[in-house]
Amino acid sequence: MTSSDAELRLLTEAREWTAQDPDPATAAALLELVRLVEDGDPAARQELEDSFRGTLQFGTAGLRAALGPGPNRMNRVVVRRAAAGLAAFLVDAVAKAADGTRPRAVVGYDARHNSDVFAAETAAIFTAAGIETFMLPSALPTPLLAYAVRALKCDGGVMVTASHNPPQDNGYKVYLGRHAVGAEGDGAQIVAPYDAEIAARISAVGPLESITLAADGWTVLHGSIAADYQRATAALAMPGRFPARDLRIVLTPLHGVGGGTALEVLKAAGFTDVTVVAEQADPDPDFPTVSFPNPEEPGALDLALEAAARLDADLVIANDPDADRAAVAAKDPDTGAWRMLRGDEVGSLLGAHMVARLADGHPDAGAPQVFANSIVSSRLLSRIAAAAGLGHEETLTGFKWISRVPGLAYGYEEALGYCVAPDQVKDKDGISAAVLIAELAATAKAAGKTVFDTLDELYLQHGLHASDQLSIRVADLGLLDAMMNRLRVSPPESFGQSAVEVFTDLAEGSAQLPPTEGLLYITRNLTRVIIRPSGTEPKLKCYLEVILQVGSAAELPAARQAARASLDEVLHDVSEALGL
């Protein structure tokens, strides 16, 4: 096929798309793109090619992509087909599991562009398919949707969100209930093989005009569902055991939908000295004050840190735009400067606090209790759990795996995700985590300490665990395979002058972990390196951790310097092994 033939075919496909597109905005945008291509605009040609380069694939993360026309973008055509396929899956799954039971589903959405439209059309398609459908009453956090799946005993849930992605993106996150997946995954995100089964149903959907949308018939939930979540989340606090509430908090939702809910929950839990960053308080799909609405990104917390310094606050808590993650910053007593804690640091602090909560007075204190974290997260949680006589499991990355650990009492992953109440929300929840973070920080303050002092106590007991990451973004996904193959063909013999003693190709799987693309190395001095492609971005991600035993508090400053030097040396060795 000549280039002119290929272009003619592309333009024809684009015009056919506009003829079926129910959204006049995306149809008009596509026609304008066609006009620019016909005028010889190379950027428009590239954009059009990418928009029609295959079909957006449904996986364990559901759907997530840039908004726009075409099968490789998030738009009403793609969402209608996804909703129809998911509806067919739910109807069949419930029919097999509970004959005669009408399927139930709940749909939520954030404040991103078109989220409300995608949610409304999903509800209309579910209803037309015979599913009893509920819709959250407004743009609300993802954890509230996950809570509603369980609270309403639903068989499925959809949250229209792109979480902390750039403003041009949107997504479609799917949860399944007991009738669809059994008790172990009730209310959790999908995992294999359900993703493939749903994807097959989506592929089997006929022409767009064959999808029926009900004019009405679904239930828009009363605001009481949000009140129920707030009440249950605030009730996680244990004022009888941890009475301290003297804590000045600066809170930012980063222009997302979590601000109002988080503020109400913190106040109901007794934390009344909370200041919301005014410039970022209201939902705004354009995220005007941040270059990237992810609290992990440099600069995202600048306004919150400025407010904290001005107000002489004790703590900064930031939620990402759909509030399923939480970031924490505090003033480091060693430097006097505010800094954000790493996800592993917060995960370990919460783990130690969960141990204290479970020690006595907890209603489930006698039940099996298991802590869990993703394989790329710090090993400190496993030592905390072992010292407390609790079980511990490592899982693949993602809360779709962490939330399925039997007997889970607490789970986290280093990417700022924490699950402190798995019976309530079987997913990461940045708002419930905020309550317990405030509780542990206020408890430390009442004892004349900071969260950094609490971390130091953990390091003295279990060893200084220091971590870092290296992310390599690529333009060509083929480069990721090339780098992974390079490591398999020429495996590194050491990192940081310590010989590799354990090498695990995670793609082979094990009794503990399903197969996943990644390589794990542990050296003689317990340095750990994990290298894996990102599941959501064109990146190769490298996770590093070193462990140093510390005899006394006086040795900690030198140990921190030594750990940093070791990490820098390992970073150099990893880069060299990758051919960078």
What are 479's two structure tokens? 């480069």
Instruction: Tell me the HSE value of 453 on the side-chain side, using a 13 A CA sphere.
Output: 12
Is 552 tagged catalytic?
no
Q: How many CB atoms lie within 10 A of CB 281?
A: 17
Tell whether 455 and 385 lie within a shared domain. Answer: yes
Tell whether 130 and 236 lie within a shared domain. Answer: no
- Selected catalytic residue, list 51, 115, 163, 377: 163
- How far apart, in whole angstroms, are the C-alpha atoms of residue 92 and residue 85? 11
Task: Identify the domain boundary among 414, 438, 462.
Answer: 462
Least Cα distance to 532 among 564, 580, 579, 488 occurs for 488
Mean pLDDT (10-residue bins), the chain, 580 residues = 76 94 95 94 94 90 94 98 98 84 96 98 98 98 98 96 96 91 83 94 96 98 96 97 98 98 98 98 98 93 98 98 98 93 98 92 64 98 97 95 95 97 97 98 98 97 96 83 89 95 93 92 97 83 97 96 97 91
Tell whether 382 and 371 lie within a shared domain. Answer: yes
In which residue are the tokens 């840190």 written? Answer: 305
What CA dihedral angle connects 324, 377, 287 and 420, to 10 degrees?
20
Q: What's the whole-model pTM score?
A: 0.95
Tell whether 62 and 140 lie within a shared domain. Answer: yes
Q: What is the pLDDT of residue 359?
A: 85
- Give the CATH number of the domain where residue 90 resides: 3.40.120.10
Phi, psi angle pair for 167, to nearest 5°: -65, -25
DSSP 222: P
State how far the alpha carbon of 76 is from the alpha carbons of 27, 30, 356, 397, in Å.
11, 14, 48, 30
Q: What is the pLDDT of residue 461?
A: 97
Tell whether 427 and 311 lie within a shared domain. Answer: yes
Tell whether 307 and 428 lie within a shared domain. Answer: yes
- How far apart, in whole angstroms, are the C-alpha atoms of residue 550 and residue 456? 10
Q: What is the DSSP string of 429-482?
A: -HHHHHHHHHHHHHHHHHTT--HHHHHHHHHHHH-EEEEEEEEEE-SSTHHHHH
Tell whether 75 and 27 lie within a shared domain. Answer: no
Tell whether 498 and 456 lie within a shared domain. Answer: no
State how far the alpha carbon of 62 is from the alpha carbons of 56, 158, 417, in Å.
10, 9, 18
Q: Are strands 249-252 and 519-523 parallel, antiparallel or unpaired?
A: unpaired
Tell whether 48 and 126 lie within a shared domain. Answer: no
Tell whether 126 and 11 lie within a shared domain. Answer: no
Q: What is the pLDDT of residue 278?
A: 98
In which residue are the tokens 């509780």 written? Answer: 439
Task: Identify the domain boundary among 406, 427, 462.
Answer: 462
DSSP 562: H
In the three-class reduction of DSSP (H, G, I as helix; E, B as strand; rest coil), residue 329 is classed as strand
Tell whether 141 and 48 lie within a shared domain. Answer: no
Q: Which domain holds residue 46?
A: 1-53
Least Cα distance to 418 among 233, 231, 247, 546 occurs for 233
In which residue are the tokens 């244990």 written? Answer: 238
Q: What is the pLDDT of residue 1?
A: 45
Q: What is the pLDDT of residue 466?
A: 97
Domain tally, the chain: 4
In the three-class reduction of DSSP (H, G, I as helix; E, B as strand; rest coil), residue 291 is classed as coil
Task: Identify the domain boundary among 179, 196, 222.
Answer: 222
Q: What is the pLDDT of residue 375?
A: 96
Residue length, the chain? Answer: 580
Instruction: Tell me the HSE value of 529 on the side-chain side, using a 13 A CA sphere.
Output: 33
Tell whether 44 and 181 lie within a shared domain. Answer: no
Q: What is the pLDDT of residue 408?
A: 96
- Give the CATH number of the domain where residue 528 resides: 3.30.310.50
